[in-house]
Structure 1
């Protein structure tokens, strides 16, 4: 790139990049201080009204001290939103539709605040520590990229030899005393590296927003492309997680989930060591104490953004202009309109004359309900149509057998009970099974016991019953005795 091109790029960034615009503004000193105080320390996101309220008192005090700022915080917040220093995010909580929008710093604003913070609070740079981190990362990268298994094996053996030597030194008690100054420098290096993570995750969130725009274009496409995209959405495919930013976030979260417990334990051990905290300031100790919590909070915020974008895309697909969806929505609206018109005339509980045969499992049974897990990103298996046979006739017997295997045949069981009761006057479950064997195996036994609970009389003792198993073996059980004394309706 030539000098002219670089200069033109810098001029363009000076006029449109939020970080550059913030630092070159007339009230940059006050702006960086206010934003860093209210949105860069612990609290990362606030509703607009609450942020304006917090800024009012500070702005008044700064104006008395000679800083040039607007008389009210509202116009200043609007300016920061217009310049991209602040960004809007959906409200948090169970009902995002009613929760107020929240404001947070953009990644550019975080970069500007971090730059000024490095100027106002300089600290000694641990050159040796940073170099060791770079060299170690290079070694790990080379080992991961080397396709030669012998080179990888040699690296692992060298690492094992180093660990064995360290274990031997610890056993002999020849480990040198830690240097407090060196420990403090290394702790500051960890804090400096960790401080860059929130800005990195903000860039990931910005990239996810850009990717969401590209994904929504697939909904406006036509033909097989849109149909395949909508089918994937209904199967639960998470297209956001498949973007580069989504894969980056997923990997980052997996690393944090795997190492969060150990990292918390390491911080606890570090803070308990007098050698490690002697050279650290109270603010640095507090930053170490909050380190893992802030990493988790920043990661959860980015994950919530991806989840919200994914759900919004699914809602957009479900509310699209598919003919089937439009027809179903129209029928539902018609039914709702009719129900509202009849609500004043038909009393609740009025017999409608309509019946619906229910299955063996009640709708309220926990066994029949599978709660939706929003964190489950595994898509449903792709349904592939099976090519029809060469005009082969439908086997009705096979269809009946398939239906019987999936549903308890209560009609058959009700007829068996009524037949035995009609001949004997009364019958227990065991007597019904002896007169009419269980054609569905255990399912028939369960169905009879369910009928007995609802229509039979409970007797004090138990009875032994038997039925044929799936492989022809005889199954036995002892169940509470119930007696059918009248036909089952």
Structure 2
């Protein structure tokens, strides 16, 4: 096919009609869409909670059906309010967002432009006027002045402007003021309204360009396989300079120098209030008065929307960079692609009424019998039998000698002292008088136990005794001197 001028113009028109703005205006249910969106979203209500929007759209559809609107012109769409809103999201007329942990809908830039177009056409204000031409000429003059590089020419323009202002000041001081008729003031007010109607769409386009840039950056980050340090530096810088990343953002940054000051917004509000109090404002229609009064609020809301999109994009990019893991991201991407491939395969082989059986539990692996122990605790062989000797190494007497105290022999010795009329004895001396086989360390403990049972008295003196072990070695013990009774004390 030859690339003629007609063919090029046709392709350009086809591309233009794919824009969501024209799709909205030329869709089957365009009157319903425009009317519903204009009722949902106003200058005082730029966003609507998702649940509220579903309910309100459903109520509007029911009200129009009850009034018979379904039989008129293009009719009404089918479905609930939720289904209608979800379709508008898919075609790009509504934008879902999260505000204060609540999901809301906002008009897209294309939907704002479509509503503005309908408002201008329906209002019947599209006419050539002095204010429109002056706006055009002022814009051309400003562009010419900014583009001029010759200092002499720029000075000449500024001097001419100064002379004009001084002449106007002289006439005002002399009382020579030519009043402007109400018709011209009305034209200028309509021109202001015309310009203000374009602002919401412009602000929405800036916010959407920032959001689109955010998605592109995150997608690029997931595909980026460069070293982590290099990736962090680049993408953190892009997150901190979001407005500079798009042409719309750079243009908005320049406009923000004019409207970003809250004092300018307040001054704009005061000027509009003063205009509405003038006599010519009585000729404005009530919708025009409300629209004119809402100009400052529109500007403020538009700036807030763009700055919110900027902060959200910076936060998302920074969070993605901080959690950037190329290996994990690739694994997640592979899993998602496998899931999508499986779904496409199932869609190709399934019918309209086929149901998908949900996975309620994870599958378990069939491993058969598992080993219950890592090693056999049984010894590899039978231990050798014990060796019995005819003469044991240790006789019973030797084993008894290394045993506990000889309580019976010790008690007999104490009883003999009592029979001899001795009531109180020194424990150290009594221990020293015992036979060698009764002066073991354990026998000293046994004698102390018998003394404690019969009754004993401790003194501040120190007693020292020598104990003899069964093998003949000695141990010396020191303890507080103890006077023991040879028989048990009578209980009171």
**Band of TM-score, shorter chain:** 0.5 to 0.7
Q: Which residue number corresponds to residue 250 of structure 2?
A: 247
Structure 1 residues 219 and 145 mapped into 2: Cα distance closer, same or farther (>3 Å)?
A: farther
Q: Which residue number corresponds to residue 114 of structure 2?
A: 112
Alignment of 1:75-90 (within 5 A): 75-89=83-97
What is the rounded CA distance, in whole Å, between the counterparts of 1:163 and 1:105 in structure 2? 43
Residue in structure 2 matching 1:231, options 218, 223, 233: 233
Structure 1 residues 27 and 322 mapped into 2: Cα distance closer, same or farther (>3 Å)?
A: closer
Q: CA deviation at 1:264?
A: 2.0
Question: Does 2:302 match 1:295?
Answer: no
Q: Which residue number corresponds to residue 99 of structure 2?
A: 92
Q: Which residue number corresponds to residue 288 of structure 2?
A: 284
Contact kept, 8 Å, 2:214 with 2:316, in 1: the verdict is: no
Alignment of 1:110-149 (within 5 A): 110-123=112-125, 125-149=127-151
What is the rounded CA distance, in whole Å, between the counterparts of 1:20 and 1:235 in structure 2? 37
SS in 2 for 1:178: coil
Structure 1 residues 236 and 2 mapped into 2: Cα distance closer, same or farther (>3 Å)?
A: closer
Contact kept, 8 Å, 1:181 with 1:279, in 2: the verdict is: no
Q: CA deviation at 1:121?
A: 1.7
Q: Which residue number corresponds to residue 105 of structure 2?
A: 103
Structure 1: gaps spanning 5 or more residues: 94-98, 324-489
Aligned residues between the structures: 314
SS in 2 for 1:62: helix
SS in 1 for 2:96: strand
Contact kept, 8 Å, 2:225 with 2:326, in 1: the verdict is: no
Question: Does 2:15 match 1:8?
Answer: no
Q: Which residue number corresponds to residue 383 of structure 1?
A: none
Structure 2: gaps spanning 5 or more residues: 328-492
Question: Does 2:168 match 1:166?
Answer: yes
What is the rounded CA distance, in whole Å, between the counterparts of 1:231 and 1:166 in structure 2? 57
Rg bigger for which structure? Answer: 2
What is the rounded CA distance, in whole Å, between the counterparts of 1:115 and 1:10 in structure 2? 18
Alignment of 1:141-220 (within 5 A): 141-216=143-218, 217-218=220-221, 220=223
What is the rounded CA distance, in whole Å, between the counterparts of 1:105 and 1:234 in structure 2? 30
Give me the TM-score of the superposition, normalised by structure 1: 0.60
Question: Does 2:262 match 1:260?
Answer: no
SS in 2 for 1:123: coil
SS in 2 for 1:103: strand
Q: CA deviation at 1:232?
A: 5.3
Contact kept, 8 Å, 1:85 with 1:109, in 2: the verdict is: yes
Cα-Cα RMSD: 2.3
Q: Which residue number corresponds to residue 25 of structure 2?
A: 23
Q: Deviations over 1:140-166 (max 9, x none)?
A: 111111111111111111111111111
Structure 1 residues 167 and 18 mapped into 2: Cα distance closer, same or farther (>3 Å)?
A: same
